[in-house]
Amino acid sequence: MKRFGFYREHFSVPTELPSIHDIPLSLDSVIEDILGYLEGNPTAVDYTEASDCLLGCGALLVGCSSVKTDGEWVWRHDTHHYVSEHGLSVPPEFMTWGEDRRWVVVRGEWENVEIFDEALAVSRSLE
């Protein structure tokens, strides 16, 4: 599984992850499709934790570190906020993946414990 939307500012220990301040802004015209995909896919791990937006807009992001997955990609729940409110881009490879699927979310019956376990493991990597 591949992931995005995990930034070094999410962790209290040093990591090799990119800084949220280095993510380019999105110029994509399919932003609504992307947002629907980020929100509509299954939640692999649901946390009730809340934290302030890393970019200082003042939003309290409830469930920020919950983990979403489509079985191929893993992203944090708060990725939706950073894309919708701050215009951060998603990786080009993820764009291609989503476009190939016309941004159709995976269905509920697809939910799979092994995939969710893998998504959790991927989400915890600090590299």
Select the residue interacting with Zn ion from 30, 35, 53, 95 (CB under 5 A).
Answer: 53
Query: Which lies closer to Zn ion via its Cβ, residue 15 or residue 51?
Result: 51
Give the chain's length: 127
Nearest CA to 96 among 5, 34, 7? 34
Select the residue interacting with Zn ion from 17, 59, 95, 105 (CB under 5 A).
Answer: 59
CB of 82 to Zn ion, least distance (A): 7
Region of 16-24, 47-55, 70-78, 114-122 interacting with Zn ion (CB under 5 A)? 47-55
Q: Does 57 bind Zn ion (CB under 5 A)?
A: yes
Residue type at position 105: V
Query: Which lies closer to Zn ion via its Cβ, residue 70 or residue 76?
Result: 76
Q: In the complex, which residues of this chain contact Zn ion (CB under 5 A)?
A: 53, 55, 57, 59, 85
